[in-house]
Structure 1
Amino acid sequence: MSKNRFEVLLKTLRFDDSASRPVRRESDASAPITELFNSFIDQCQAVLAIGSCACIDEMLLAFRGRCRLKMFMPKKPTKYGIKIQCLTNARSGYLLNAYIYQGKDSDGLHLLREYQTLKKPTQAVMRLIPPIERSNRNITFDNWYTSIELIDSLKKKQLTGVGTLRKNQKEIPPEFLATRHRNVDSTVFGFTKDITMSSYVLIKNKAVITVSSIHHMPVVDETTKKPEIILFYNQTKIGVDLLDQRCSNYSTGRRTRRWPLAVFYRMLDISASNCYVVRLSTQPHGQKTETRFSFMKNLAKELTRPHMERRANNLKLQLIFEWLFDTSSTVTRKPLHQQFQVAVALKKG
């Protein structure tokens, strides 16, 4: 299509019924994009099942326009944007479930009443895990989500969890905190019936505290001197970060003041990333037969192929091409006034 037509379509593109939007917005702040976003998540869950390890983390979609969903996260590179809570495969970064964060007390939406009394990070995890409930998978999360309450809640869903704990958690014994008397590369373990806690001194007066319901032995790697829980955490925490990196490397996003369009751009980027993961899963032993850049180019060609074939078989376009570009003549293009006459005649029918 022409550039002007593309710009017109982009300006008029909408994702819901504007007539019923005010009513839906009373209970759903992301109403302009919710229906399409939920349909997209359903397709992601129908195409591929993730492996034995999952990862939960937040993704910040950069946006600085006017939006009630916009929030400030100083530790993120983009600082301002729309937060999306994500559940992905821990190693491949395939997105399985996600929802758009709508502000305070929105993590417990659509949850049972028994879960709405839990902590907000625990509610976020419980909202994301329905596709993998009772599958004995493991979930890795960072210290914003991790708590003993969350580990116990996952156990009821037949899931395990691994994560780092913040130092202000009341369940942490005083012996696990960093002191000047503890040596560097030393590890302290604590065990209950279902949970293992470890405290590893990375540098002087700084300890990394982790909790796991999948490790039950005080195993320490002889090379790095780190406990096995930390090594497992480092290997399985990159799922959402890997997806975010792929979306940033090859992005369809363009500058816009409409936040639903910004979310739509990110959905396109996630779709391309998920397609690439599905393509790799079909290769023998996960061999990488083509780069992601080549895959994106081939994907774009295949998506536009039906339109190009339809135009190639259009008899009117063939006649126009033969008339404008007469190969038997030394001058291959007709004069501009003759082209204009042809265009007017075709418009009249």
Structure 2
Amino acid sequence: MSQFRFLTLLNYIRFDDSNSRSQRLETDPLAAISEIFGLFIANCKKAYTPGAYLCVDEMLVPFRGRCKFIIYMPKKPAKYGLKILVVCDAETFYVHNAYIYHGKDSDGLGLPETERKLAIPTQSVLRLCKDFEKTNRNITADNWFSSIELMERLKDRGLTYVGTLKKNKRHIPPEFQASKTRSPESSLHGFTKDFTIVSYVPKKSKAVLLISSMHHTKQLDPLTKKPEIIMDYNKTKGGVDEIDKKCSNYSSSRRTRRWPLAIFFRVLDLSGVNAYALYKTCTAVPNISRAQFLQDLARSLVLPHLKRRVYNNRLPRELRLTISRVLGTDKPPEPEITAPEDTEAARKTCKICPSRLKRRTKYSCIECRKAICLGCSKTVCVECADNK
């Protein structure tokens, strides 16, 4: 399409009914995009079943326009934007479930009233992992989500958890904290009936704390001498960060001051990530790069539109030749013209008016559907009128 048409569509695109938006905003702050986002997540859940290891984390959609629930995250590259909480497959990076943070009480939507009184990180994980109850999958998350409260709730739902711990948690014994007396590459384990805590010293006066409900031994990796908990955490922790990186490398986003459009651009990027994961899982095609896959995907999406435009004689010939080269031909093909079976429908001049006037047909008889023109001012052809 032309650049003007593209910019026009981009300017006027909307994702809901503006007439009822004010009413829906009273109960749904995301009314401008929630329906489209909900349909996208529903399709993600139908198309793929994640593996045994899941990753829960947050991603930041860059945005600096006007929005009530914009977030400041200094550790993210963009720093300002819209926060989306995501659970994905830790191996294929397929996004299974997500929701947009829109302020207070947004993490507990869909949860029972008793669970809405829990800590916000606990509510977030329970909401995202609601579809995986009693499946014995493992959830990996960072220290913002980790807590004994969350691990107990997940254990009741048939799920295990692995994650890092903040050093200021009350249930951490003093022996597990960083100390100058502890030698580098040493580890200290602590066990309860259901959980395991480990403190690993990567270098002097430093300590990394992790907690797990999946591991119950002191097993170490033979090569790195690190605890098994740390090795499994490192393998499964970067799912959402990797998705965020993929969306940044090949992004469809454009500069905008409308936050629903910024979310829509991220939905397109996540669709590309999920489509690539599905393609690699469901086909026996040799390894194809993600860049090549996205190019092939974009071409397949615009191919029907190109085939329609190449037959349009009103377009400049140079443009039609360019489209033909994209389609793989040297010159624009001529459309196939097939003669209609009904000879009356193929008539180009009015049957009633004198032939010397050569009046073109414009209307058809309301009874027999024969072509007549405006010049004869007839709504019923002569034959139908004579028969009456």
TM range (shorter): 0.7 to 0.9
List runs of 5+ in structure 2 lacking aligned partners: 321-388
Q: What does residue 266 of structure 2 align with?
A: 266
SS in structure 2 of the partner of residue 274 of structure 1: helix
Count of residues in Structure 1 that have an aligned counterpart in Structure 2: 321
List runs of 5+ in structure 1 lacking aligned partners: 326-349
C-alpha RMSD over aligned residues: 2.0
Q: What does residue 295 of structure 2 align with?
A: 297
Q: For the Cα contact (< 8 Å) 1:65–1:258, is it kept in 2?
A: yes
Q: For the Cα contact (< 8 Å) 1:199–1:207, is it kept in 2?
A: yes
- Residue 216 of structure 1 deviates from its aligned partner by 0.9
Q: Which amino acid aligns with 1:298?
A: D
Alignment partner of 1:185 is 2:175 = no
| Equivalent-residue separation in structure 2 for 1:65 and 1:318 (angstroms) | 43
SS in structure 1 of the partner of residue 88 of structure 2: strand
- Residue 92 of structure 1 deviates from its aligned partner by 1.6
| Equivalent-residue separation in structure 1 for 2:207 and 2:287 (angstroms) | 42
Q: What does residue 276 of structure 2 align with?
A: 276
| Equivalent-residue separation in structure 2 for 1:290 and 1:62 (angstroms) | 29
Question: What are the within-5 Å matches in structure 2 for residues 312-331 of structure 1?
Answer: 312=310, 314=311, 317-318=312-313
Q: What does residue 157 of structure 1 align with?
A: 157
Q: What does residue 170 of structure 1 align with?
A: 170
Q: For the Cα contact (< 8 Å) 1:91–1:238, is it kept in 2?
A: no
| Equivalent-residue separation in structure 2 for 1:225 and 1:91 (angstroms) | 24
- Residue 19 of structure 1 deviates from its aligned partner by 1.5
| Equivalent-residue separation in structure 1 for 2:71 and 2:207 (angstroms) | 30
Alignment partner of 1:224 is 2:229 = no
From the two aligned structures, give the one with the greater helix fraction. Answer: 1
| Equivalent-residue separation in structure 1 for 2:92 and 2:68 (angstroms) | 32
| Equivalent-residue separation in structure 2 for 1:218 and 1:320 (angstroms) | 72
Alignment partner of 1:15 is 2:52 = no
Single out whichever of 95-104 and 215-224 deviates more from structure 2: 215-224
SS in structure 1 of the partner of residue 83 of structure 2: strand
| Equivalent-residue separation in structure 1 for 2:232 and 2:22 (angstroms) | 47
Q: Which amino acid aligns with 1:5?
A: R
Normalising by structure 2, what TM-score?
A: 0.79
SS in structure 2 of the partner of residue 268 of structure 1: helix
Single out whichever of 35-44 and 188-197 deviates more from structure 2: 188-197
Q: Which amino acid aligns with 1:15?
A: F
Q: What does residue 196 of structure 2 align with?
A: 196
Normalising by structure 1, what TM-score?
A: 0.88
Q: What does residue 55 of structure 1 align with?
A: 55
- Residue 132 of structure 1 deviates from its aligned partner by 1.7
| Equivalent-residue separation in structure 2 for 1:148 and 1:288 (angstroms) | 44
| Equivalent-residue separation in structure 1 for 2:164 and 2:316 (angstroms) | 65
Higher relative contact order (CA 8 A, sep 6+): 1
Question: What are the within-5 Å matches in structure 2 for residues 86-101 of structure 1?
Answer: 86-101=86-101
How has the CA–CA distance of structure 1 residues 319 and 262 changed in structure 2, closer, same or farther, with 3 Å as cutoff? closer
Q: Which amino acid aligns with 2:228?
A: E
SS in structure 2 of the partner of residue 202 of structure 1: coil
- Residue 318 of structure 1 deviates from its aligned partner by 4.5
| Equivalent-residue separation in structure 1 for 2:187 and 2:166 (angstroms) | 17
| Equivalent-residue separation in structure 2 for 1:241 and 1:43 (angstroms) | 22
Q: What does residue 306 of structure 2 align with?
A: 308
SS in structure 2 of the partner of residue 203 of structure 1: coil
Per-residue Cα deviation, 1:275-310 (whole angstroms, up to 9, x for no partner)? 0011111245xx752111111111011111222233
| Equivalent-residue separation in structure 2 for 1:85 and 1:194 (angstroms) | 27
